[in-house]
Amino acid sequence: MGKEKVAIIGSGNWGSAIAKIAGTNASQQTDIFDASRIPMWVFEEEVNGKKLTEIINETHINEKYLPGITLPENIHATSDLDEVVKDATAFIFVLPHQFLGKAIESLKGKITPGSKGVTLIKGVDVSGDDIRIFAGTIEKELGISCSALSGANIADEGKSIRSISREVETKYFAAGKFSGMRIHGLTGLNEVAEIAPFFVKKRLSDTERRKMERCGGSCSIVEDVAGVSLCGALKKFALTGLKVHFYEDIVAVAAGFVDGLEWGDNAKAAIMRNGLLEMKHFCLEFFENVKAETFLQESAGVADLITSCIGGRNRKVAEAFVKTGKTFEDLEKELLNGQKLQGVATAKDINTFLKSKNRVEGYPLFEAVYQCAFEGRDVKTITKNL
Ligand SMILES: NC(=O)C1=CN([C@@H]2O[C@H](COP(=O)(O)OP(=O)(O)OC[C@H]3O[C@@H](n4cnc5c(N)ncnc54)[C@H](O)[C@@H]3O)[C@@H](O)[C@H]2O)C=CC1
Ligand SMILES: O=C(CO)COP(=O)(O)O
């Protein structure tokens, strides 16, 4: 069998951070990967009068979405999806979820049979009373096996901790900080093991491993794909407390509401707890094969909820929503420089789904986030019915 050729679909904040890891790790495992040139699909735009693809290829820095971080030279930015897909056998999907559908349509019929994918996309794919994780959507639409990767990681955070990265050596995320991540295989552990080398340095020395463990870092392969994907989706609903609806991002919005109201740490912890419970109940109620322990034991569960509720974009914008009275749409443009909010859209998707199932009342925090974001509900009432 030939060597794997990696392609990255997406180039935002997380997409660029992951490109750094994938490019580096692939070039360290040339027995598995053809790492000479890894295409990264970029939604073309001009930055200071110059095409973003040209900036990335000349400077090896994504000046707009991950400034200050140098990407490996084998990462090649292109706006031509046909160029990205040509010869690729291992796909990393890392787009904001609202853009995945169009990318899938462009990829259909062009992917080499037997290719595999891993998705890092937060959110759920809702259509009426049908709900699926994006790994499932990719498998169904593109006919390839797809795993999911999620964990307590925020791309930007690495920038402030370069000292740790130097000390620890092993590279995770934008500046090499150790974090927890989990890779979940939809079609079974063997498939995941084939995908994992994108992200996992398999040949860690004992010293590296001990250092990583001292820093609380881990990267492992687990089988609960749905559980991990859904944690990512639901967290943003609950934490931020905006007018969003249902991911981890939803919880992150709720947490941001609490910050905006200046209710303090006790209230925020209570919201996070309620958010975690709703995430877990939702996943167990509507998805098969989700393991309850994923929510507490895996990085994609409570740990990711915590980091998103403390340092994420959904939290930040939700706080500003309360303090300024501006819309989420305006604040996204004003505060995120082109980066996208997932939590509010997810809250809406989840609300649509719960209404179709007559189960809205079972998820009062998700409902509160949705109503605050879309129906003008007073943010101060988010604890009602919890
Ligand atoms: N940023 C982070 O720390 C983390 C992000 N994620 C998830 O990763 C996924 C990707 O997010 P980021 O890389 O952070 O993106 P981002 O929010 O930083 O950037 C937005 C991206 O969307 C692209 N875009 C804008 N309009 C577009 C269009 N019409 N069609 C296609 N693309 C368009 C932009 O060029 C840019 O690459 C999301 O699901 C997010 O929730 C997951 C974990 C951590
Ligand atoms: O998903 C994240 C961490 O896992 C980042 O969350 P935000 O999109 O709210 O920054």
Q: List the helix and strand counts (H, then E) for the chain.
A: 17, 14
Q: How far apart are the CA of 205 and the centre of ligand 2, in A?
A: 30
Whether the CB of 308 sits within 6 Å of ligand 2: yes
**Residue carrying the six token digits 């995770």:** 172
> What pLDDT is attached to residue 216?
46
Res. 228 pLDDT band, cuts 50 70 90:
low
Which of 20, 171, 235, 243 is catalytic? The answer is: 235
Q: Is the pLDDT of residue 305 over 70?
A: yes
Question: Which ligand 1 atom is the nearest neighbour of the CA of 123?
Answer: 39
Ligand closest to 336 (CA) is 1
CB atoms within 10 A of CB 83: 14
Residue minimizing CA distance to atom 25 of ligand 1: 43
pLDDT of residue 235: 43
Ligand 2 nearest atom to the CA of residue 339, by list position: 8
Q: Whole-prediction pTM value? A: 0.86
Summarize pLDDT for 85-105 with one digit per residue, the tens. 999 998 999 999 999 999 999
C-alpha of residue 15 to centroid of ligand 2, in Å:
12
| pLDDT confidence of residue 229 | 53
Any atom of ligand 2 within 6 Å of the Cβ of 156: no
In the DSSP assignment, the letter for residue 299 is I
Element spanning 38, H or E: strand 38-41
pLDDT score, position 36: 95
- C-beta separation of 219 from 181 below 8 A: yes
How far is ligand 1, taken at its centre, from the CA of residue 6, in Å? 19
Check whether 117 has a pLDDT greater than 60. yes
State the pLDDT at residue 234: 46
- How many residues comprise the chain? 386
**pLDDT (0 to 100) of residue 287:** 81
| Rounded CA separation 317/255 (Å) | 11
Q: Ligand 2: does its nearest atom lie under 6 Å from the Cβ of 153?
A: yes
235 is known as an active-site residue: yes
Q: Which of 15-29, 285-299, 332-346, 360-374 has the lowest mean pLDDT?
A: 285-299
Question: What is the CB-side half-sphere exposure of residue 140 using CA atoms within 13 A?
Answer: 8
The pLDDT tens digits for 309-341 are 999 999 999 999 999 999 999 999 999 999 999
Residue 199 pLDDT level (bands cut at 50, 70, 90): low
| Through-space distance between the first and last CA atoms of the chain, rounded to whole angstroms | 55
Please state, rounded to an integer, the average pLDDT across all residues of the chain: 80
For residue 15, the ligand 1 atom closest to its alpha carbon is 13
pLDDT attached to residue 225: 53
Q: Is 61 exposed, middle or buried (0-12, 13-18, 19+ CB in 10 A)?
A: middle
Query: Pocket of ligand 2, candidates 16, 122, 237, 306: which has the most ligand atoms within 8 Å of its Cβ, to mutate?
Result: 122
172 pLDDT more than 60: no
Q: Cα dihedral angle (168, 173, 191, 123), rounded to 10 degrees?
A: 140
pLDDT, residue 236, reads 35
Q: Determine the pLDDT at residue 302.
A: 83
Residue 285 has pLDDT above 80, yes or no: yes
Closest-approaching ligand to the CA atom of 121: 1
pLDDT tens for residues 358-379?
A: 999 999 999 999 999 999 999 9
Tell me if residue 68 falls in helix, strand or coil. coil
* pLDDT score recorded for residue 135: 82
CA distance 195 to 206: 23
237-264 mean pLDDT:
68
- Kind and range of the H or E run holding 41: strand 38-41
| Smallest CA separation from ligand 1 atom 15, residue | 12
Over residues 141-167, mean pLDDT: 61
Tell me, using a 6 A CB cutoff, whether residue 171 lines ligand 2: no
Tell whether the model's pLDDT for residue 126 goes beyond 70: yes
**What is the mean predicted confidence (pLDDT) over 274-291?**
86
Residues 379 and 257: beta-carbon distance below 8 Å: yes
Cα–ligand 1 centroid distance for 310 (angstroms): 19
Q: Smallest Cα–Cα separation from 235: which of 340, 343, 86?
A: 343
Task: Return the pLDDT at 238.
Answer: 31
205 CA from centroid of ligand 1 (Å): 33
CA of 135 to the centre of ligand 2 (A): 18
More confidently predicted of 196 and 25: 25
Close Cβ partners of 24 (under 8 Å, ≥ 6 residues apart): 72, 171
Q: Measured from the CA of 312, which atom of ligand 1 is nearest?
A: 3
Instruction: Give the DSSP letter of residue 361.
Output: G
Q: Is 154 close to ligand 2, i.e. is its CB under 6 Å away?
A: yes
Residue 339: C-alpha distances to residues 8, 12, 164, 202, 353 (Å): 18, 7, 26, 32, 26
* pLDDT-based confidence at residue 206 (cuts at 50, 70, 90): low
Ligand 1, residues at Cβ distance < 6 Å: 10-15, 43, 65, 94-97, 99, 120-122, 153-155, 338-340, 342
Q: What is the pLDDT of residues 36-45, one digit of tens each?
A: 999 999 999 9
Looking at per-residue confidence, does 295 or 354 come out higher?
354
- What per-residue confidence (pLDDT) applies to 259? 97
